């Protein structure tokens, strides 16, 4: 896992100090080494920070080139099937000089061009410069596990793993995007392809971009979740899921360094430990807990760790850990209002003391109907699907306000609430349909339950959760691997009728049937909790008052001080949480 950066300049030469500055800004993503490439006429510069897992020698250093120096790559991620792809490429006559997955990208691009992306199994964001064609090819993995931001203004194209890398380049100027500012309060994140800055964009998941010699930029989607309604015997579905998950976890364990695992004591992380035991691997495991909470995750994690004999580490949080938010606004560099950003950062910090990479269970809930809002969805009672179909067709029936948006909100900001929050001068930046991003990904051509699951893949997981995990882990120079997000597993499950993989009376049917005889009863009977603390942890009104008493947002006439006081008086802690995150972010970056 690494950090990448680069620049293509059409009006003058690149200052190599800019590439160095971009590298330095994301040093945390790769403390094991760094490198830059500047082409002969200084029109292209690539930067790289290395966190090494494969071929720890100098042969794995980046930016990396092919044999004749015509292709250069800077790459962040893991291609887990690189061994199989290498064998295939060697069959086509390609010669390798390292044992890295990075070199597979170079030869794969030579052999297949953009078609290479459909052969990759893994998580990645990378950029390849073609010196012959004077083209930059960049891509992001199918689910958006790894980030990629870019800036294209004034004849200068700049990209990086994090916004802070782009802002470190002196050729870059940014202005706050108040439409994104408003979107954050609706979604708890800034939705792709936007960022919090007008000039900076995100490359969406499962997309690639091509920057041509004439400066033309094109962006294309190369993959989406395929759907079918196959009905197969229950036993066959359970066994196939078991085979796919076992193979995914085994291939995710490929590394020249030890691989640990987060362990919450829930189905997903506990399953990871069980499956690793099947191929003889016992990882270090890491849990987070909260003091004086009888359902704290660390209590359940200890049961699994004891059963499988892992070297287990648990960190117990106290209320003062809320103060970490002052630092996290630097870590995230655009506001993320997920309530688990603090425990995610701290468990990553704890894990990084022992290992360089861990496995985690993201993707399982979205794929196997693990969230309560998916289970509670009842279109026959509320007419949810039909109302949403009318909304998609442009009819004024915004029922999504009442269901999915409320499920995601944790303190809802609809249009009316935003107008109370924002200074009147900024009301023009509030979208007339504040839920536009949810609407953009709602599918009317698939079963209702799958439509809800796709929303979770595209929004909650793809935009909020994966971004949270990447920044929290990489700020601690830790890589997080997510075996449930193997595209072959996702394609298999979404190729089935929901009647095959979902049971109302059984949590995550296909997974449960494979772990029910291998985990403690307390784990199997445990209610879905999410990676959060007790509500009282987020209800510290004195903490909110201290953070908002001299609000810079109020002083700069961006939000209304009277509204903030009303939130405090009402002890509206979820809305206050989002306001506080934005307040601290604004102080740091604006």
| CA-to-CA dists, residue 18 to 44, 390, 455, angstroms | 12, 50, 39
| CA-to-CA dists, residue 241 to 9, 184, 361, 452, 510, angstroms | 48, 36, 15, 21, 7
CA 259 to chain centre: 20
Do residues 275 and 249 lie in contact, with contact meaning Cβ atoms separated by under 8 Å?
A: yes
Quote the radius of gyration of the chain (alpha carbons, Å): 24
Give the chain's end-to-end CA distance (angstroms, integer): 29
Write phi, then psi, for 11 (nearest 5 degrees): -135, 65
DSSP result, 198-223? TTEEEPPTTEEEEE-TTS-EEEEE--
Using left for φ > 0, alpha for ψ between -120 and 50, and beta otherwise, residue 84 falls in: alpha
Please report, to the nearest 10 degrees, the dihedral formed by the alpha carbons of residues 412, 182, 336, 389 taken in order: 60
Do residues 512 and 506 lie in contact, with contact meaning Cβ atoms separated by under 8 Å?
A: yes
Show the beta-strand stretches assigned E in 398-544: 479-481
Does the annotation count 2 as an active-site position? Answer: yes
**Among residues 1, 2, 36, 473, which one is catalytic?**
2
Do residues 341 and 537 lie in contact, with contact meaning Cβ atoms separated by under 8 Å?
A: no
What letter would DSSP give residue 15?
Answer: P
Query: What are the catalytic residues?
Result: 2
């Amino acid at each position: 896992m690494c950090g990448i950066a680069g620049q293509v300049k059409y009006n003058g030469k690149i200052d190599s100090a800019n590439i160095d500055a971009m590298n330095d800004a994301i040093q945390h993503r790769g403390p094991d080494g760094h490198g830059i490439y500047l082409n002969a006429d200084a029109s292209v510069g690539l930067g790289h920070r290395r966190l090494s897992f494969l071929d720890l020698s100098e042969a794995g250093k980046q930016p990396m080139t092919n044999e004749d120096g015509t292709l250069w790559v800077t790459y962040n991620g893991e291609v887990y099937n690189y061994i199989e792809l290498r064998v295939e490429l060697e069959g086509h006559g390609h010669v390798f000089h390292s044992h890295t997955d990075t070199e597979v990208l170079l030869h794969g691009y030579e052999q297949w061009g953009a078609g290479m992306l459909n052969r990759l199994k893994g998580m990645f964001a990378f950029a390849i410069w073609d010196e012959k064609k004077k083209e930059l090819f960049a891509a992001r993995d199918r689910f958006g596990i790894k980030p990629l931001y870019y800036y294209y203004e004034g004849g200068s194209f700049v990209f990086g793993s994090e916004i802070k890398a782009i802002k470190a380049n002196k050729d870059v100027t940014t202005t706050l995007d108040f439409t994104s500012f408003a979107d954050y309060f609706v979604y708890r994140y800034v939705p792709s392809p936007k960022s919090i800055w007008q000039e900076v964009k995100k490359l969406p998941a499962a997309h690639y971009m091509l920057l041509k010699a004439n400066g033309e930029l094109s962006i294309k989607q190369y993959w989406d979740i395929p759907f079918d309604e196959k009905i197969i015997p229950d036993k066959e579905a359970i066994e196939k899921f078991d085979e796919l998950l076992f193979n995914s976890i085994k291939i995710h364990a490929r590394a020249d360094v030890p691989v640990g695992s987060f362990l919450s004591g829930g189905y997903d992380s506990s399953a990871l430990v069980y499956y690793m035991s099947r191929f003889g691997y016992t990882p270090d495991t890491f849990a987070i807990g909260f003091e004086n909470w009888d359902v704290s995750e660390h209590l359940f994690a200890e049961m699994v760790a004891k059963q499988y004999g892992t070297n287990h580490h648990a960190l117990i949080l106290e209320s003062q850990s809320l103060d970490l938010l002052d630092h996290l606004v630097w870590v995230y560099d655009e506001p993320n209002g997920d309530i688990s950003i603090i425990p995610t950062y701290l468990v990553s910090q704890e894990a990084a003391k022992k290992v360089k990479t861990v496995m985690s269970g993201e993707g399982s809930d979205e794929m196997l109907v693990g969230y309560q809002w998916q289970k509670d969805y009842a279109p026959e009672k509320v007419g949810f699907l039909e109302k949403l179909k009318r909304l998609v067709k442009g009819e004024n029936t915004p029922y999504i306000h009442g269901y999915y948006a409320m499920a995601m909100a944790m303190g809802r900001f609809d249009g009316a609430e935003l107008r109370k929050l924002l200074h009147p001068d900024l009301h023009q930046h509030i979208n007339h349909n504040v839920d536009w991003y949810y609407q953009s990904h709602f599918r009317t051509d698939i079963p209702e339950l799958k439509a809800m699951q796709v929303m979770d893949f595209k929004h909650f997981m793809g935009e909020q959760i994966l971004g949270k995990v990447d920044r929290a882990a990489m700020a601690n120079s830790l890589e997080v691997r997510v075996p449930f997000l193997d595209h072959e597993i996702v394609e298999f499950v979404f190729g089935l009728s929901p009647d095959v993989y979902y049971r109302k009376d059984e949590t995550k049917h296909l997974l449960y049937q494979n772990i029910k005889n291998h985990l403690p009863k307390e784990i199997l009977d445990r209610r879905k909790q999410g990676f959060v603390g007790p509500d009282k942890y987020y209800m510290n009104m004195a903490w909110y008052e201290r953070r908002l008493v001299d609000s810079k947002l109020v002083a700069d006439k961006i939000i209304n001080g009277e509204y903030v006081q009303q939130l405090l008086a009402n002890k509206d802690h979820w809305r206050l949480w989002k306001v506080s995150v934005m307040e601290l972010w604004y102080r740091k970056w604006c």
